[in-house]
Amino acid sequence: MIFTSTKSASLASSFLSEKVFFFSLSYLLPYLYAIMLSLQPSTSITRFSSFSQLYHRRRHSISPPPAPHLPLTRRTPLRHRLQIRALDAAQPFDYETQISDRFAQSTKLKIAIVGFGNFGQFLAKTLVSQGHTVLAHSRSNHSQIAQQLGVSFFSNPHDLCEEHPEVMLLCTSIISTENVLRSLPLQRLKRSTLFVDVLSVKEFPKNLFIQILPGDFDILCTHPMFGPESGKDSWLGLPFVYDKVRVGNEESRAIRIERFLEIFEREGCRMVEMSCAEHDKYAAGSQFITHTMGRVLEKLRLDTTPINTKGYETLLNLVENTASDSFDLYYGLFMYNKNAMEQLERLDLAFESLKKELFGHLHDVCRKQLFGKAEGMDVLEDQRVLSKLPQNGAALPAPSDTVRAENN
């Protein structure tokens, strides 16, 4: 500016006499300077506001043009005008959020967990993370951990039932289930309530529910085949067994049970629909055997060695996994599954039969050494093949029969 004014001054000097020029310049300079200073910000405001106006019109063609009475002069406060446009632009976004919120609300359930121990807390984490409203009741005071998980804790079962949850999710231990169920004030619940259990045996809670619950209540028996240990990172691909034991005719009841199952579907569980009786048969031959072997090995106090094989590492893992479950659970698997006793007996027989084969083989080797080749070799060959017990459910031959059959 100073450069321009001196330049114009030198130009002017060629036309005007020195005296006149210096007088006029010294007289006008402060005014010129003041005008140029005040013009500088005003032009930038005008340019910016017209640009933002254009920008907003192009971006949001549906937003109305600025009101004609709004003066676009440099005195209009910039912040005020921008605020109006921002509100205008935010409205559709807000609207969509509200709609999606309302939609999400309708797919969420109010679930009351009864028995807030290890497993109840484990399930609660996922239920809360999926946006369901979770309540809990337990005989022990777990209010602190409930608060940390975002769960409302009720020490009194009456208070819990008066909250009218849509789903009552029993996470009790097998052996306490009957007492807990009988102590619940069922009359305080809504007439349409869904009862769900997650016990590791299925026929027992199914019969208990049918016996104790009013006919209006829906019943879903489930068994998530995983726990806080095996499902701590993800439930992806883990089996979830369920049996829709009783669902009322109303559409809302069918939808409610589907929504509950969706919780596990969404986590990637392998959903297996199966009758409670079938489950118990499979579980006795797999889960109960696993727990039993884990506990037998635990009694051996296996220790890690510098030369662990992969197989041995598997055994150590098995001990670790089964030892983290309570003895009550193991006892429940045995006591409340009618197929478990047969499996325990089969285990016993299998061990006896294995020992007999080993000792029988040893006996023959000793005899051969003592009496030379007087006796035939074919008997020995036959006994090398270890005999196998019949499959689940087949009649159990006496171990002596097995050995005799092999010898024939």
Ligand X SMILES: *[C@@H]1O[C@H](CO)[C@@H](O)[C@H](O)[C@H]1NC(C)=O
Which residue ranges make up the site for ligand X (CB under 6 A)? 141, 143-144, 155
Nearer to ligand X, 138 or 322 (CB): 138
Q: How far is the CB of 125 from ligand X (least distance, A)?
A: 19
Q: Which amino acid is at 210?
A: I
Name the closest residue to ligand X (Cβ). Answer: 141
Residue 128, helix vs strand vs coil: helix
Nearer to ligand X, 139 or 338 (CB): 139
Q: How far is the CB of 224 from ligand X (least distance, A)?
A: 28
Query: What gap in Å lies between CA 284 and CA 399, rounded to an integer?
Result: 22
Helix axes 289-299, 327-335, angle to 10 degrees: 130
Nearer to ligand X, 143 or 383 (CB): 143
Q: How far is the CB of 115 from ligand X (least distance, A)?
A: 17
Q: How far is the CB of 159 from ligand X (least distance, A)?
A: 11
Nearer to ligand X, 46 or 143 (CB): 143
Query: What gap in Å lies between CA 244 and CA 230, rounded to an integer?
Result: 25
Query: What gap in Å lies between CA 253 and CA 249, rounded to an integer?
Result: 7
Nearer to ligand X, 159 or 278 (CB): 159
Nearer to ligand X, 76 or 155 (CB): 155
Nearer to ligand X, 112 or 221 (CB): 112
Residue 60: partners with Cβ closer than 8 Å, 6 or more residues away: 88, 89
- CA torsion sign, 243 to 249 to 251 to 256? negative
Of 237, 216, 211, 238, the closest CA to residue 227 belongs to 238
Q: How far is the CB of 155 from ligand X (least distance, A)?
A: 4
Query: What gap in Å lies between CA 120 and CA 227, rounded to an integer?
Result: 10
Of 155, 199, 146, the closest CA to residue 177 belongs to 199
Q: Cite the beta strand spans of 238-388 per DSSP E.
A: 239-246, 270-273
Q: How far is the CB of 138 from ligand X (least distance, A)?
A: 11
Q: How far is the CB of 328 from ligand X (least distance, A)?
A: 23
Q: How far is the CB of 147 from ligand X (least distance, A)?
A: 8
φ, ψ for residue 390, nearest 5 deg:
-65, 160
Query: What gap in Å lies between CA 81 and CA 72, rounded to an integer?
Result: 10
Nearer to ligand X, 163 or 298 (CB): 163
Adjacency order of strands within the sheet including 110-114: 152-154, 133-137, 110-114, 167-170, 194-197, 218-224, 239-246, 270-273
Whether the CB-CB separation of 200 and 290 falls below 8 Å is answered with no
